[in-house]
Structure 1
Amino acid sequence: MREILSFNNVSFTYTPEKEDARKAVQNVSFSINEGEWISIVGHNGSGKSTMVKIISGLLFPQEGEVRVMSNVLTEENLWETRSQIGMVFQNPDNQFVGATVQDDVAFALENNGVPYEDMVERVHHSLKQVKMDKFLNHEPHHLSGGQKQRVAIAGALAMRPKILILDEATAMLDPQGRDEVLQTVSTLREDIGLTVLSITHDVEEALLADRILFMNDGKKYAEGTPEEIFALGDKLIEFGLELPFAMRMTKLLKSNGVELVGEHMTEEELVNDLWTSNFNK
């Protein structure tokens, strides 16, 4: 698997002129391989948003380097690099510029001079990938939150990026909309090998990742699989991160005398354990 994105000892401060300035990102290193799903989690002020701005070239690190597709990100290759990255942001209503769904998906393609016939094919194909092809001529403001985010994902996919970044993309959605978006991204990853980087407060979303980067005070506090990160338990709570529902419920049940085996990351694991324990009795 080839490396698609990496931070190498990256540091950034918004006030470099001050000697004692706090670093928003401090000596952070990590890498993402093609086809992986990586989640970056942490409380407000932990450095997540600054990292997204650095990846997209809105900010450049004062120390260290960022590589995209093995190339160091610079002002000279910024626009070429951005074409490799698709972004989906928090508020779906702020992303629409077209009068209809297909107009919106076509907007970036037109701006990049994609030929008309190719543009039409890309619009239809990307909307089909997110199961929104039946909404071609719908007005975006008539869609649900989940549908709007799926259209936003289609717009990103139409540009054929190497990596899709979800920047708190499910934060403003109801549970159904959240599930729609995450299921869409999971399916795309399986079908086309899409590389995903999600910035999130949602621990249930983070559970879908191959690896989690836990940020605290601008530093990478921990990196590992979801099981390894959430095994930190009370330390995560201390730093303002909630544990998954199944883990919280497991602790509550155990504290009330219910016999359970180990910790449970998902509700399915918890239900199976409860069922097995009850059946054996």
Structure 2
Amino acid sequence: MSTKIITLQDVTFTYAIEDKNVRPAVNNVSYSIQAGEWVAIVGHNGSGKSTLARLMNGLLFPQTGSVRIFGEKLNEHNLWETRSKMGMVFQNPDNQFVGATVQDDVAFALENNGIPFEEMVERVEASLVKVKMSEFMNSEPHHLSGGQKQRVAIAGAIALQPKILLLDEATSMLDPQGREEVLATVRQLKEETDLTVISITHDLEEALLADRIIMMNHGEKYAEGTPEEIFQKGQELVDLGLDLPFAMNISRLLRLQGISLVADHMSEEELVNDLWTSHFNK
């Protein structure tokens, strides 16, 4: 039976609570995330998704409602214990490095948590192997590409052996190759472990990888469902300030040119197969 690992119940947060005219950044939002699930929280800038990330990791506490992590209501007393089970990877990889070398950086949080030296060495090596960065162990972080830096940041997070990995716009500053490297790493980690992944993103290509999408709009939960269910909204997503995946845009353009397709495809592979089957393999 699935276990609820995170639950938000009627959560509201306003940054300027004394100003009655300010719209809440998050307004009466409820959802649950199951252990081992990959959930993408998507929305335009200002939709409330980054505030949700801060509420889930205890950087903020709601004015009303509750946030429960591992079944316990998140508060100042259990905050640090809860965070020790949650790995975080942020938007700008350059802002996350504190070590002179890659292995120093991955070891930093372990040292702060009092992990014995022998175990720390094993964890650093194992986590760098998992993200395919072991050959860069003694490299200086500023010599790495953006995608490599984020993979090192993920290694630092998983070295703590967290139950939850939270990606807060972790691919938004990367080029396409770096983005693919990071997402492939996360996908592999999820397949090999019991990791719960939460990705905060405005990129619907990234959201395609999730088991479920929670869509935010002006601080409220607008929609929730599988990628297939969410992407059926099509133009509605564009009207909310989101870019459709590349394959869906191409599908629509082809339809405008009179080319019949089975559906508006979410992946390039599906689109190519449809074109091949329907128009070329005859």
Normalising by the smaller structure, the TM-score range is: over 0.9
Counterpart CA distance in 1 for 2:132 and 2:183 is 13
For 2:135 and 2:256, locate their aligned partners in 1 and report how far apart those are by CA, in whole Å. Answer: 50
- 1:190 is matched with 191
- Would the aligned equivalents of 2:163 and 2:194 in 1 still touch at CA under 8 Å? no
How much does 1:164 deviate?
A: 0.3
Paired letter, 1:263: D
Alignment partner, residue 251 of structure 1: 252
- Distance, in Å, in 2 between the alignment partners of 1:5 and 1:88 is 18
Q: For 2:177 and 2:95, locate their aligned partners in 1 and report how far apart those are by CA, in whole Å.
A: 20
Contact 2:9 2:66 in 1 (8 A): yes
Residue by residue, what CA displacement relative to the aligned partner does 1:170-204 show, whole Å, maximum 9, x if unpaired?
11111111110000000000011211000111111
User: Percent of aligned positions with the same letter in both sequences?
Assistant: 68
Q: Partner letter of residue 213 of structure 2?
A: I
Q: Which residue of 1 aligns with 2:3?
A: 2
Question: Where do 1:175-214 residues align within 5 Å?
Answer: 175-214=176-215
* Cross-structure match for 2:77: 76
Counterpart-to-counterpart distance in 1, 2:13 and 2:185: 34
Give the TM-score, by structure 2 length: 0.98
In 1, Cα distance between equivalents of 2:92 and 2:281: 48
Distance 1:148 1:91 in 2: 9
Other-structure match for 2:43: 42
Match of 2:34 in 1: 33
RMSD: 0.9
| Local SS of the residue matching 1:220 | strand
Residue deviations 1:256-276 (CA, integer Å, cap 9, x gap): 111111221111111001001
- Shifted more, 271-280 versus 160-169: the winner is 271-280
CA distance in 2, matches of 1:84, 1:31: 17
- Residue 18 of structure 1 deviates from its aligned partner by 2.4
Give the letter for the 1:249 counterpart: I
Rounded to whole Å, the distance in 2 between the matches of 1:280 and 1:49 is: 46
Residues 28-56 of structure 1 deviation map (CA, whole Å, 9 limit, x = unaligned):
11111111100011001000111111111
User: Gaps spanning 5+ residues in structure 1: where?
Assistant: none
Deviation at 1:219, TM superposition (A): 0.2
Counterparts of 1:15 and 1:202, CA distance in 2: 28
Cα distance in structure 2, aligned partners of 1:257 and 1:276: 17
Match of 1:58 in 2: 59
Map 1:236-275 → 2, pairs under 5 A? 236-275=237-276
**What does residue 229 of structure 2 align with?**
228
Which secondary structure state, in structure 2, belongs to the residue aligned with residue 39 of structure 1?
Answer: strand
**Alignment-derived partner of residue 87 in structure 2:** 86
Aligned mates of 2:118, 2:95 — CA distance in 1: 28
Tell me the TM-score normalised to structure 1 length.
Answer: 0.98
Equivalent residue, structure 1, for 2:15? 14
Which range is displaced more, 181-190 or 230-239? 230-239
Which string of whole-angstrom CA distances, capped at 9 and with x for unpartnered residues, describes residues 150-171 of structure 1? Answer: 0000000011111001111111
Counterpart in 2 of 1:159?
Answer: 160
Amino acid of the residue matched to residue 259 of structure 2? Answer: V
The answer to whether the Cα contact below 8 Å between 2:11 and 2:66 also exists between their aligned partners in 1 is yes
- Aligned partners of 1:116, 1:260: CA distance in 2, in Å? 59
Deviation at 1:252, TM superposition (A): 0.7
Bigger CA drift: 266-275 or 17-26?
17-26
1:21 Cα deviation (Å)? 2.7
Stretches of 4+ moved more than 2 A in 1? Answer: 18-21
Q: For 2:236, give the aligned amino acid.
A: K
SS of 1:275's partner is: helix
Q: How many pairs does the alignment contain?
A: 281
In structure 2, the CA distance between the partners of 1:280 and 1:148, relative to structure 1 (3 Å rule), is closer
Q: Which amino acid counterpart does residue 81 of structure 1 have in structure 2? A: T
Task: Show CA shifts across 1:54-98 (max 9, x none).
Answer: 111111001110011111100110111111110001111110000
- Cα deviation for residue 280 of structure 1 reads 5.5
Alpha-carbon offset, residue 119 of structure 1: 0.7
